[in-house]
Amino acid sequence: MSRTRTVALPKDIYRQALVSAFKKLDPRVMMKNPVMFVVEVGFVITLLLTIFPGLFGGASDALYNGVVTLILFVTILFANFAEALAEGRGKAQAASLKKTKQDTKARKVAKDGSIQVVSSTELRKGDIVVVDAGELIPSDGEITQGVASVDESAITGESAPVIKEAGGDFSSVTGGTRVVSDSIRVRVTTDPGESFLDRMISLVEGAKRQKTPNEIALGTLLVSLTLIFVIVCTTLSPIAAYVHAAIPIATLVALLVCLIPTTIGGLLSAIGIAGMDRVTQFNVIAMSGKAVEASGDINTIILDKTGTITFGNRMAAEFMPVGQATQEVLNKMAAKSSIYDETPEGRSIIELAKKLGVDAKEFELPGSEGVEFKAETRMSGTDLADGTTIRKGAVDAIKQYVASQGGSIPTDLEEKAAKIATAGGTPLAVAAGANIFGLIYLKDTVKPGMRERFEELRRMGIRTVMCTGDNPLTAATIAREAGVDDFVAEAKPEDKIALIRNEQAEGKLVAMTGDGTNDAPALAQADVGLAMNSGTIAAKEAANMVDLDSDPTKIIEVVAIGKQLLMTRGALTTFSIANDVAKYFAIIPAMFMLAIPQMSALNIMGLATPQSAILSALIFNAIIIPILIPLAMKGVKYSPMSATKLLSRNLVIYGLGGIAVPFVAIKLIDLVLVGLNLV
């Protein structure tokens, strides 16, 4: 169902990453990563000791100092390289998007109705432009007039053109996409520099990448740990002096670097960038890393019905008279109620009426006025010149309307509406003044594969709730067919927000997917708001994610990526800290072995010499970073299971693994160093 989008990575991505790894050595840049900054300070100290072995008093081994310096330098480079590599894909993607962005000529409709040709950069919010077949749409906007097929491949990567039309939930267009057929008028909705494409570019470029609250929290923990070890290591020197064990400064630095969490410190930002990247590869634009992370902790997902769970091209399939009304009269009324209705539903009603032989002159209603569809009233209609008010809309809304006019409800209305609803259709009642004439059967189909996808969410422990403006019977049928856990019917926009707030009040994190203007407030309220690219501008602006493929179940991938991101960070933190325990056992005995021979009992690894022990631990500390880069970038494996199960599994793998791996690796490095006669 979902496909991934591949961006051609530049062939020299590794070379580019290496270059920027060197650039990132700048202390002002390094300071942003305190753990690695401490390594850099250590590097400077040992470098000075290599050049001036007697610098801090006493003699030290220049060669040993030099080797430590070299390993520290490589450690920093590896960490910088990891970050640079993670940034590479975004840069490549930004470059390809920038190619799409070009100044185009726009045909702006002036106040007097005349057409002026201007540059697209001169367009401002509220301007109206005309775009014909073959032309690029000059700016983001909403179609105010016309229907057209639009090639959106520049943004979505999908080559099949999509139909965009005025009114309803499919009216938004994106600057940089091309009209393939017909002509439309578009009301510009963004000022220059703030378009969707602009935002996409700065996002993938990482220009706006802000640390997420989780990242900041973990960062604080790492800094605290680092501080503790700085204190431990600086106080070791006097303690050692007390037992007459002179510890070389380079060894103290090596010990410090081994003990501070350099592995996670070096990989942390790469993990975050790669997580954002994975979302983009699924053709979802996340406005912030926070949104991606939040999706990893989601408890409840609220979905809109029409256009989200169903295809959303609700088409009039049948007109059903009720009470005394004849088929012929109802056909005419249905048509008259819809001549001003620019929504796809309205247009499909006109089409059906024409097909059923309603005369063309029935559509001419001089002096009449349209009443636009609103999610609040759930009605639309036409006010005729003679004062007759024709309305169509949700059955309960029309019943109330007719009752307020003093009319009565035909006895067979409920039963016929129920028939449509239990078949999963949407019944619209048609009334003129105080009389109800019949029903319009709007047909819609559930998108295939929904049941399996919702089943998958259930396994992840996530509850799905469908929230629709439609009547309870239709809602129940569609809910059953799609396999959601729960549904809310006859929901007005404020009900959708209330539903989200209630869940949030219970301490739950809520995701919402939707496409309509009426979904916008709820999309903004939700912790994760995923708007369909096909949807309205309002929906897309309110959401913190946009799915370019307009596939609501994509939320599953986003949730999985979010979980994977959190898990990867947790796993590598566990691994990193567990590692340091093993390094401690490699170095501490080595440091004191000469002064306190009894300490050699602690040399459980049987490392050859104190120097080889220290260098082996330091080398392991460095190379573990590049070894873990692929895992940091790809993320740890995620399969749907409960959070506690996942946690205990990861603790075993990365905690115990993190303790065991360095023992083996450091011993091996030690053997190699001895074998090569290097120590």
Number of CB atoms found within 10 A of residue 167's CB: 22
**Does residue 142 have a known ligand-binding role?**
no
Q: Which of 141, 516, 570, 589 binds Mg ion (CB under 5 A)?
A: 516
User: Which residues are annotated as catalytic?
Assistant: 304
Pattern 227-266, binding to K ion, x per CB under 5 A? -----------------------------------x----
**Does residue 557 have a known ligand-binding role?**
no
Compute the distance between CA of residue 429 and CA of residue 334 in angstroms, rounded to an integer. Answer: 9
CB 223 → K ion: shortest distance, Å?
A: 14
Which letter, b or e, does each residue of 561-571 get, where b requires 16 or more Cβ atoms within 10 Å of its Cβ?
bbbbbbbbbbb
CB closer to Mg ion, 274 vs 539: 539
Q: Is 304 in the site for ligand ATP (CB under 6 A)?
A: yes
Write the DSSP assignment of 175-235 as a string of letters: TT-EEEES-EEEEE---TT-SHHHHHHHHHHTTT----HHHHHHHHHHHHHHHHHHHHHHH
Compute the distance between CA of residue 68 and CA of residue 76 in angstroms, rounded to an integer. Answer: 13
Residue 463: how many CA atoms within 13 Å on its side-chain side? 12
CB closer to K ion, 533 vs 621: 621
Query: Which of the residues 408 through 447 are near Mg ion (CB under 5 A)?
Result: none
Q: Which of 189, 190, 283, 306 binds ligand ATP (CB under 6 A)?
A: 306
Compute the distance between CA of residue 220 and CA of residue 488 in angstroms, rounded to an integer. Answer: 42
In the structure encoding, which two tokens stand for residue 367, read together? 């002096």
541 binds, among Mg ion, ligand ATP, K ion, none (CB under 5 to 8 A by kind): none
CB closer to Mg ion, 261 vs 516: 516
Q: Which stretch binds Mg ion (CB under 5 A): 98-106, 286-294, 303-311, 479-487?
A: 303-311
Quick one: which of 506, 482, 568, 489 has its CA closest to 270?
A: 568
**Does residue 345 have a known ligand-binding role?**
yes
CB 143 within 8 A of CB 165: yes
90 binds, among Mg ion, K ion, ligand ATP, none (CB under 5 to 8 A by kind): none
**Does residue 169 have a known ligand-binding role?**
no
**Distance of CA 467 to CAs 461, 491, 540, Å?**
19, 7, 18
Q: Which of 13, 221, 315, 375 binds ligand ATP (CB under 6 A)?
A: 375
**Distance of CA 381 to CAs 15, 313, 339, 397, 472, Å?**
64, 20, 8, 13, 23
Number of CB atoms found within 10 A of residue 143's CB: 24
Instruction: Report phi then psi at 117, rounded to 5.
Output: -95, 120
Pattern 605-624, binding to K ion, x per CB under 5 A? ----------------x---
CB closer to ligand ATP, 266 vs 393: 393
Paired sense of beta strands 389-394 and 379-383, if any: antiparallel
Q: Is 469 in the site for ligand ATP (CB under 6 A)?
A: yes
Q: Which of 138, 248, 516, 529 binds ligand ATP (CB under 6 A)?
A: 516
**Distance of CA 639 to CAs 340, 394, 460, 567, 636, Å?**
51, 42, 8, 11, 10
589 binds, among ligand ATP, Mg ion, K ion, none (CB under 5 to 8 A by kind): none
Q: Which of 75, 263, 300, 306 binds Mg ion (CB under 5 A)?
A: 306
In the structure encoding, which two tokens stand for residue 617, read together? 């631990």
CB closer to Mg ion, 138 vs 493: 493
Q: Is 380 in the site for ligand ATP (CB under 6 A)?
A: yes
**Does residue 373 have a known ligand-binding role?**
yes
262 binds, among Mg ion, ligand ATP, K ion, none (CB under 5 to 8 A by kind): K ion
Q: Which of 184, 225, 252, 379 binds ligand ATP (CB under 6 A)?
A: 379
Compute the distance between CA of residue 274 and CA of residue 86 in angstroms, rounded to an integer. Answer: 6
Rg (CA), the chain: 33
Q: Is 50 in the site for Mg ion (CB under 5 A)?
A: no
Q: Is 426 in the site for ligand ATP (CB under 6 A)?
A: yes
**Does residue 515 have a known ligand-binding role?**
yes
**Does residue 591 have a known ligand-binding role?**
no
Residue 270: how many CA atoms within 13 Å on its side-chain side? 28
Q: Which stretch binds ligand ATP (CB under 6 A): 98-106, 462-470, 504-512, 544-552?
A: 462-470
CB 533 within 8 A of CB 546: yes
Q: Which stretch binds ligand ATP (CB under 6 A): 194-202, 203-211, 375-383, 578-586?
A: 375-383
**Does residue 182 have a known ligand-binding role?**
no
CB 593 within 8 A of CB 599: yes
CB 272 → K ion: shortest distance, Å?
A: 20
**Does residue 519 have a known ligand-binding role?**
yes
Query: Which of the residues 518 through 547 are near ligand ATP (CB under 6 A)?
Result: 518
CB 516 → Mg ion: shortest distance, Å?
A: 4
380 binds, among ligand ATP, Mg ion, K ion, none (CB under 5 to 8 A by kind): ligand ATP
Pattern 335-364, binding to ligand ATP, x per CB under 6 A? ------x-x-xx------------------
CB closer to K ion, 568 vs 621: 621
* Sheet containing 184-188: order of strands: 115-119, 105-109, 128-131, 184-188, 141-145, 172-173
Could you tell me the end-to-end alpha-carbon distance of the chain, in angstroms, rounded to an integer? 58
Q: Is 574 in the site for K ion (CB under 5 A)?
A: no
Compute the distance between CA of residue 341 and CA of residue 314 in angstroms, rounded to an integer. Answer: 14
CB closer to K ion, 83 vs 277: 83
Q: Is 670 in the site for ligand ATP (CB under 6 A)?
A: no
In the structure encoding, which two tokens stand for residue 458, read together? 């259930």
Compute the distance between CA of residue 107 and CA of residue 328 in angstroms, rounded to an integer. Answer: 45
**Does residue 380 have a known ligand-binding role?**
yes
CB 261 → K ion: shortest distance, Å?
A: 6
β-bridge partners, 118: 106
Which residues of the shown chain bind K ion in the complex (CB under 5 A)? 262, 621
Which residues of the shown chain bind Mg ion in the complex (CB under 5 A)? 304, 306, 516
Which residues of the shown chain bind ligand ATP in the complex (CB under 6 A)? 304-307, 341, 343, 345-346, 373, 375, 378-380, 392-394, 426, 428, 468-470, 491, 516, 518
Binding residues for ATP: 341, 345, 373-380, 392
Binding residues for Mg(2+): 515, 519
Binding residues: 341, 345, 373-380, 392, 515, 519
